[in-house]
């Protein structure tokens, strides 16, 4: 990687904020622009997202991917084979996917609505399989430690040749002290170098203490994702990927509800009716995602309903509330992570409705006993990590 000491950006947080650039205190940047023209927010997403996938790779030993939007992950995943139902729900049926491409399909599929126009981060050198998947999605940028020549050729065709491709040094180690300027003042702190491993799950505080390896992996995915999610934050994970993330809410129960609702929608999108919808010919994949999302709404305005029906050759029947609940009863063994302690049992009560079996939280709340009892009431396994993971 040729040494670059300064990178000029299109603009800052907004187009009227000029004089934007990236520097590294007079040292070479660990990042280079392979293609495109980055902006301020692009780099906020890229640098946060790559830290997440690099850490997931180290923690699990599997290729990892993240789909970032507005400095929080819409989805994150490590490699795990896709079921035929998931492949169909993610729009990748019939495609030959490498492990890295599979990880990105999972990360992107966790919340396809939020991933529209994402920043994609990959832990490994991007291969042609992953590049082909990226090429067909609406995405603003990709960041990875490298690209095969074939992958680069594919990606450079995206967005009329303007797709932002960033290459980052996977071995870059930043200074232990980080600074941030705010309102003309400088804040300084030690970087969050907390290392999350399976050893983080040794303190089990519930009556149920059965924690299989698959649950440890999912709890790791949840915790590491939370480390790079705007706080307060809650993450539901299953089968090596996030399925619902609640970010940046002022109340933890609202994070739990938001993430739980997303997890429910993730699972409902695998319902046979959703998998076999007959869309109008020529309907874009993003519009198909929107149509499925509206199908899950409890009610639409008459104008909205008429517009929604235009998306289909055959308008699909809607699920009743009882049918939704019956289908959601199949969502089980979900891992749930919190970036801080759980202050009330209401978080556990809501999590139980989305199939949560395994919980990791910091512990040390005034109501720990009440929260642990809630987990016992539902037969959950709860772990105290002992570490808070706020990220702002």
The model's pLDDT over 209-242, given as tens digits with 9 standing for 90+, comes to 999 999 999 999 999 999 999 999 999 999 999 9
Query: What's the CA gap between 207 and 376, in Å, rounded?
Result: 6
Provide CB contacts within 8 A for 369, sequence distance 6+: none
Return the pLDDT at 3: 85
54: left (phi over 0), alpha (psi -120 to 50) or beta: alpha
The model's pLDDT over 153-170, given as tens digits with 9 standing for 90+, comes to 999 999 999 999 999 999
Average pLDDT score over residue span 179-184: 94
The model's pLDDT over 305-358, given as tens digits with 9 standing for 90+, comes to 999 999 999 999 999 999 999 999 999 999 999 999 999 999 999 999 999 999
Bridge partner list, 164: 141
The model's pLDDT over 115-162, given as tens digits with 9 standing for 90+, comes to 999 999 999 999 999 999 999 999 999 999 999 999 999 999 999 999
Query: What's the CA gap between 126 and 97, in Å, rounded?
Result: 12
Name the helix (H) or strand (E) containing 76: strand 72-78
State the pLDDT confidence band at 10, using cuts at 50, 70 and 90. very high
Residue 1 pLDDT more than 70?
no
Stated pTM of the model:
0.96
Looking at the annotation, which residues are catalytic?
A: 69-70, 232, 392
Return the pLDDT at 147: 98
């Amino acid at each position: 990687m040729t040494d670059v000491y300064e990178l000029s950006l299109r603009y800052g947080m907004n187009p009227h904020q000029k004089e934007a650039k990236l520097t590294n205190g007079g040292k070479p940047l660990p990042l280079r622009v392979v293609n495109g023209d980055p902006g301020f927010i692009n780099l906020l997403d890229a640098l946060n997202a790559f830290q997440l996938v690099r850490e997931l790779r180290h923690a699990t030993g599997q290729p990892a991917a993240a789909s970032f939007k507005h400095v929080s992950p819409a989805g994150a995943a490590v490699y795990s084979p896709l079921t035929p139902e998931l492949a169909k729900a993610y729009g990748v049926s019939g495609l030959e996917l490498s492990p890295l491409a599979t990880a990105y399909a999972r990360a992107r599929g966790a919340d396809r609505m939020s991933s529209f126009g994402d920043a994609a981060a990959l832990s490994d050198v991007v291969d042609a399989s992953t590049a082909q998947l990226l090429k067909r999605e609406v995405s603003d940028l990709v960041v990875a430690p490298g690209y095969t020549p074939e992958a680069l050729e594919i990606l450079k065709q995206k967005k009329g040749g303007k797709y932002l491709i960033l290459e980052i040094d996977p071995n870059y180690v930043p200074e232990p002290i980080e600074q941030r300027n705010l309102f003309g003042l400088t804040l300084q702190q030690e970087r969050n170098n907390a290392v999350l491993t399976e050893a983080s799950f040794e303190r089990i505080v519930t009556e149920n203490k059965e924690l299989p390896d698959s649950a440890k992996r999912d709890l790791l995915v949840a915790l590491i994702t939370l480390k790079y999610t705007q706080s307060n934050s809650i993450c539901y994970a299953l089968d090596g990927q996030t399925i619902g993330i609640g970010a940046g809410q002022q109340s933890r129960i609202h994070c739990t509800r938001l993430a739980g609702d997303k997890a429910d929608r993730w699972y409902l999108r695998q319902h046979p009716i959703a998998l076999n919808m007959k869309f109008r010919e020529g309907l874009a994949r993003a519009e198909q995602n929107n149509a499925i999302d509206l199908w899950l709404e409890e009610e639409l305005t008459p104008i909205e309903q008429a517009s929604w029906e235009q998306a289909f050759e055959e308008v699909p029947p809607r699920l009743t509330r009882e049918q939704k609940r019956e289908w959601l009863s199949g969502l089980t063994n979900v891992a749930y992570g919190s970036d801080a302690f759980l202050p009330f049992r209401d978080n556990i009560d809501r999590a139980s409705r989305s199939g949560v079996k395994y919980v990791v939280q910091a512990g040390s709340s005034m109501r720990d006993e009440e929260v642990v009892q809630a987990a016992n009431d539902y037969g959950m396994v709860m772990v105290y990590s002992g570490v808070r993971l706020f990220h702002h």
